[in-house]
Each structure stands twice: as C-alpha cells, then as structure tokens.
C-alpha cells in the first residue's frame, strides 16, 4: 500500500478523512484559525471526515467552537462534514433543520467486555503500574465513552509538554497493550494520542468506522484518502492504511496545513 500526497490523488477522491489530535490540532488543544479556514475551503469541494478517539464532548470543546465557515458557505461546509468520535464507533452529521449535530450510527460495546476492561484498568491505576496516574492533573485517567473506553496515562487535560515526554516512542503503551491483550481477548486495544490507549469491541478500529461511512454513502475505500499522525503498527491511525485506504502520515498540524494548502490551491 502506497502513501500519496500529490494533488492528482485528491482529484480522484470524494472523501478526505483526518485524524484530529496530533493531525489537525495538538493533543486536546483547540483548532487553530488557520486550520479552520483550510478545512472549510476543502469542504466546499470534498466530503471532509474528522475521526478521533475522543468523545463527541471533546469535539464540542476542541473542534466545533473553532470551526468558522463563511456564512455564505455554511450549508455546503456543514453538509460535507462528518464527525466520527470514539474511533468511528459513533457518527454525527449536521441536521440542517434542527441546526445541530445528530448521531446517525453507533457500534455497541458489549457490557460484559466493558466491565472486564474497567476492572483491569482500575487495577493498573490503583497500583500505579507502568507510571500510569503518577502525575495526573486532577482529571480522570479512565474514561467510559460508551462505545469506547480510553485510558489517558496522565489524565485527559495534562499539559501537552508533559504528555509529549511521557511516552514519545510508544514503548510504555506497547508494554501495557501487550500485557492486557492476554487478559482481554474480546477487546481491541489501540495506541492513540500521546498518552492514550483506546479499548474498543473486538475487530473494531478507525478503518471500520470509515468504511461504515463509505458504505452508507454508496462509496468504497478507493473514494477516500486519510491523513493521520499515528500511522504505525499499533497506532490508532494504522488500520486505515491496513484496510487499503490511501493514507498520508504527518508529523503534526503544521505539516497537515501544508498538505491541505497544496490540495486547494
């Protein structure tokens, strides 16, 4: 599977999908004005998909308040925008009648599997294993996002500088993932963000969420290009590449911005 970045590739695509944290914005930081402008311009001509391990509440804090389409273009941008929180296990589309975002799809996480995940993670946090929970900023390390459980080792709202140095090579999370996989065979464990592990129903990942959207839109993986920062084995963006979706790995928002600029000019 090749990685493409050129403008000719985009011309053949109906959908452009982006990871959120680390790709469009820094971890849990708000969308910057320059990125909002670029996304709105892109959404005038393409269907734009934003997928994240974060919950819809995180989208409402980090993304939506900072997305500012021109009033003239508002309907087009909103009609061409899809939000896929919790790794695509939920999908939201803008209802132009209600003027609000409505959930249009959801993957069920079996309660018995969720209970097993919560039990194992609570053991880790209580014991302080792997350094998890050692320097949190007062917010929860474990979050039940209904269709996904996430463990943020330093807490969701820890300072970004602390997050970046905690596990820059993913080795800590690879160890936790390996240890837990043996005890949680009915769950898919994925490395996300800078300090996060996401837990989803067995077999579910971002690629599944993206493909469900494509199926609903009577499209195929050949109609989409995906941009993410965690396109590496075990990373929460890697499944898109594995599924055959043409993918571009970026190092952060500034590189994503340059990519979009090259596509829209």
CATH number of the structural domain spanning residue 129: 3.30.1240.20
* pLDDT reading at 235 higher than 70: yes
181 located within any domain: yes
Same domain (yes/no): 23, 135:
no
Q: What is the CATH number of the domain that holds 245?
A: 3.40.50.1000
Q: Residue 2 — pLDDT band, cuts 50, 70, 90? A: very low
246: helix, coil or strand? strand
* pLDDT reading at 136 higher than 70: no
212 vs 49: CA distance, rounded Å: 12
Same domain (yes/no): 78, 46:
yes
Residue 259: predicted pLDDT: 93
Same domain (yes/no): 102, 124:
no
Count structural domains, the chain: 2
49 located within any domain: yes
Q: Residue 52 — pLDDT band, cuts 50, 70, 90? A: very high
69 vs 38: CA distance, rounded Å: 10
Among the ranges given (4-13, 15-24, 205-214, 253-262), the one the predictor scored with the smallest mean pLDDT: 4-13
92 located within any domain: yes
Same domain (yes/no): 78, 137:
no
With beta carbons less than 8 A apart as the criterion, state whether 84 and 209 touch: yes
Same domain (yes/no): 65, 196:
no
2 located within any domain: no
Same domain (yes/no): 13, 99:
yes
Residue 101: predicted pLDDT: 97
144 vs 220: CA distance, rounded Å: 31
Boundary-marking domain end, from 152, 169, 201: 201
Residue 1: predicted pLDDT: 34
Short-list 261, 222, 218, 213, CA closest to 84: 213
36 located within any domain: yes
Secondary structure of the chain: what % helix, strand, coil (to 5)? 40, 20, 40
More confident residue, 236 or 113: 113
Q: How many CB atoms neighbour CB 45 within 10 A?
A: 14
1 located within any domain: no
* pLDDT reading at 245 higher than 80: yes
For the chain, where are the alpha helices, taking DSSP H only? 7-11, 33-42, 56-62, 74-79, 111-127, 160-166, 171-181, 206-216, 238-242, 253-264
Domain range spanning residue 174?
Answer: 111-201
Express each pLDDT in 192-207 by its tens digit.
888 999 999 999 999 9
Short-list 132, 134, 155, CA closest to 143: 155
Residue 8: predicted pLDDT: 61
Write out the two tokens for 69.
């389409």
Same domain (yes/no): 32, 149:
no
Residue 7: predicted pLDDT: 63
Same domain (yes/no): 41, 92:
yes
Average pLDDT of span 32-38: 97
Boundary-marking domain end, from 154, 170, 201: 201
Short-list 264, 248, 214, 241, CA closest to 49: 214
Short-list 227, 246, 230, 229, CA closest to 13: 246
- pTM tops 0.95, yes or no: no
Residue 3: predicted pLDDT: 38
Q: How many CB atoms neighbour CB 76 within 10 A?
A: 15
140 located within any domain: yes
* pLDDT reading at 18 higher than 80: yes
Q: What is the mean pLDDT of the chain?
A: 91
Residue 265: predicted pLDDT: 72
Same domain (yes/no): 35, 162:
no
Same domain (yes/no): 214, 95:
yes
Residue 233: predicted pLDDT: 86
* pLDDT reading at 137 higher than 60: no
Same domain (yes/no): 81, 160:
no
Q: How many CB atoms neighbour CB 251 within 10 A?
A: 10
Boundary-marking domain end, from 166, 183, 201: 201
Same domain (yes/no): 171, 197:
yes
Residue 4: predicted pLDDT: 45
């Amino acid at each position: 599977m090749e990685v493409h970045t050129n403008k000719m590739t985009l011309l053949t695509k109906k959908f452009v999908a982006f990871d959120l944290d680390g790709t469009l914005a820094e971890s849990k930081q708000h969308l910057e004005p320059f990125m909002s402008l670029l996304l709105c311009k892109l959404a005038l001509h393409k269907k734009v998909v934003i997928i994240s391990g974060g919950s819809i509440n995180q989208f409402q804090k980090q993304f939506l308040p900072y997305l500012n389409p021109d009033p003239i273009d508002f309907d087009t941008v909103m009609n061409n925008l899809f939000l896929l929180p919790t790794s695509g296990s939920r999908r939201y589309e803008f209802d132009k009648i209600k003027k609000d975002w409505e959930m249009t799809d959801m993957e069920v996480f079996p309660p018995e599997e969720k209970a097993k995940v919560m039990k194992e993670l609570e053991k880790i946090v209580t014991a302080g294993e792997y350094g998890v929970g050692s320097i949190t900023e007062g917010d929860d390390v474990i979050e039940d996002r209904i269709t996904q459980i996430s463990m943020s080792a330093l807490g969701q709202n820890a300072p970004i500088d602390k997050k970046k140095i905690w596990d820059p090579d993913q080795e800590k999370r690879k160890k936790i993932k390996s240890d837990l996989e043996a005890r949680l065979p009915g769950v898919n464990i994925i490395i996300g963000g800078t300090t996060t592990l996401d837990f989803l129903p067995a077999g579910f990942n971002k690629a599944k969420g993206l493909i469900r959207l494509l199926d609903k839109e009577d499209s195929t993986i050949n109609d989409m290009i995906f941009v993410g920062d965690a396109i590496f084995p075990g990373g929460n963006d890697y499944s898109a590449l594995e599924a055959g979706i043409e993918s571009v790995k970026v190092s952060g928002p500034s590189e994503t911005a340059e990519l979009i600029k090259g596509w829209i000019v």
